[in-house]
Amino acid sequence: MLFTILPLIMLTPLKANNAGYVTDSIVVRMFQYVFPKATENVLVDSACTLTSFFNQLKALKNDHSSVVSICHVGDSHIQADIQTGITRRMFQDFFGNAGRGLIVPLKLAKTNEPKNYRITSTQKWEAFRCIKPGDYPVGIGGMVLVSHDSISSVKIETLDLYNPNKWNFNDFTVFYDTSLVSLRITDSIPISYDPNGETAFTRQFKTDTLINNVNLTWEKEGNNPIRFYGINLRNGQSGVLYHAIGINGAHYEEYAVSPEFMQQISALTPSLIIISMGINEAYDKGFNPDIFYNSIDKTIKQIRNQCPDAVFLLTTPAETWYMFRSSKQRKPHPNIIKARNTIIKYAKKHQLAYWDLFSITGGKGSAFTWKKHKLLQKDGVHFTQDGYELIGELFFEAIYNSYKTNPENNHELNSDN
């Protein structure tokens, strides 16, 4: 019964107290009461590797022209953008809204898409995702749409239930294979091309007014197919861009072996790269912690090659349950804690920050408690809407408290917090 009021309070931003913490949230206090075995909600960053990122956040308070970009890469927990949607909103409430950020044509790939945008087309597209590589390499969203028609179009729309203008944009970068096809913007409003945003995979466009939709049309040149990866939406304001990149069933390794993904991520100029995976590896037959460790290493090294100025934050998976055929009983999956320990081992070895969701959510036996309070779905892996929103809020709380207590910060709250 305690969690029946969660939907009413999850949308209330956390408030900082006089000490500079956001621990006075009703949701967080309820969480601590219901899950007494949960550890303190903090980031572990013994080497203070996030200092450069925190300094950029701090600068947003005075520099009204800068943008701080965050990339959160993961699996199905990220694809739906429920957890990351909450974290994005809270970052932007505190530090400014610079736009919706990267959006990917997931629905056209016949999979679930976040509810705050819509990408539609009258053409038939072929889709490839990093979990099932095909004839065409995937790009920034972990996927690619391919069309063999001579002309293909998509319509991009931003949506928000409470504020229709929340994600309006006047600056956008389209990710596609620019060397093979030509792109036209087929809208009546004036839209100009910005050559500063041109790469082998991107074209940047700007408008004088904020808009909430745009039509893109590609024309083939020769026999080359049209390849569309996604679009980055900005509003010209100072603040945070929080890009959520998730593919159902994804592993570290699948991103690591996607060269176009690695090349395109640099176009988002991330200051912080968050990686949240490990569950799918843990569920693989013959899961081997050493192989998993090497996959983490390969992925991070390749991203770092493309984004040398970015810092990393790894997260561990929460406990899940698994139906054992022999006993027909649900038990905690034994490989989850192995995956969690491997992620922490890697983070400590390479002095990376990490957020131990496994312990924060209660550790061993916690999956059944989360299910009891209707925060975990019947599959024992995915959270409910309330569960994801709670995790999104807890994640921001951990980052924000680390920001306020960073050695180079002044520990004082600004009046607008």
**235-262 per-position pLDDT tens digit:** 999 999 999 999 999 999 999 999 999 9
Same domain, 338 and 215: no
CATH of the domain at 115: 2.60.120
**Is residue 167 assigned to a domain?**
yes
Same domain, 255 and 393: yes
- Partners of residue 102 on adjacent β-strands: 232
Could you tell me if 167 and 100 are in contact, meaning their C-beta atoms sit under 8 angstroms apart? Answer: yes
Q: Give residue 19's pLDDT.
A: 37
Give the torsion sign (CA, 124, 129, 135, 138): positive
Same domain, 269 and 364: yes
**Is residue 8 assigned to a domain?**
no
Q: How many CB atoms lie within 10 A of CB 157?
A: 15
Same domain, 286 and 338: yes
Distance in angstroms (rounded) separating the CA atoms of residues 199 and 220 = 19
Last residue of a domain, one of 214, 236, 258: 236
Contacts of 149 (CB under 8 A, 6+ apart): 123, 124, 220, 226
Same domain, 368 and 278: yes
Same domain, 398 and 259: yes
Same domain, 203 and 247: no
**82-102 per-position pLDDT tens digit:** 999 999 999 999 999 999 999
**Is residue 4 assigned to a domain?**
no
Same domain, 138 and 250: no
**What is the amino acid identity at position 255?**
Y
Same domain, 263 and 389: yes
Q: Give residue 120's pLDDT.
A: 97
**Is residue 11 assigned to a domain?**
no
Same domain, 361 and 263: yes
Same domain, 92 and 170: no
**Is residue 301 assigned to a domain?**
yes
Residue ranges making up the domain that contains 43: 16-98+238-417
Last residue of a domain, one of 195, 215, 236: 236
**Is residue 329 assigned to a domain?**
yes
**Is residue 10 assigned to a domain?**
no
In the chain, the number of structural domains is 2
Give the torsion sign (CA, 18, 86, 163, 186): positive
| Residues 25/36/384/355 CA torsion (nearest 10 deg) | 80
| Residues 28/74/299/317 CA torsion (nearest 10 deg) | 50
Could you tell me if 241 and 70 are in contact, meaning their C-beta atoms sit under 8 angstroms apart? Answer: yes
Could you tell me if 43 and 395 are in contact, meaning their C-beta atoms sit under 8 angstroms apart? Answer: no
**Is residue 227 assigned to a domain?**
yes
Same domain, 232 and 247: no
CATH of the domain at 63: 3.40.50.1110
**Ranges of the chain with pLDDT below 50:** 1-24, 411-417
Last residue of a domain, one of 236, 256, 290: 236
Going by the DSSP 8-state scheme, the letter that residue 20 receives in this structure is S
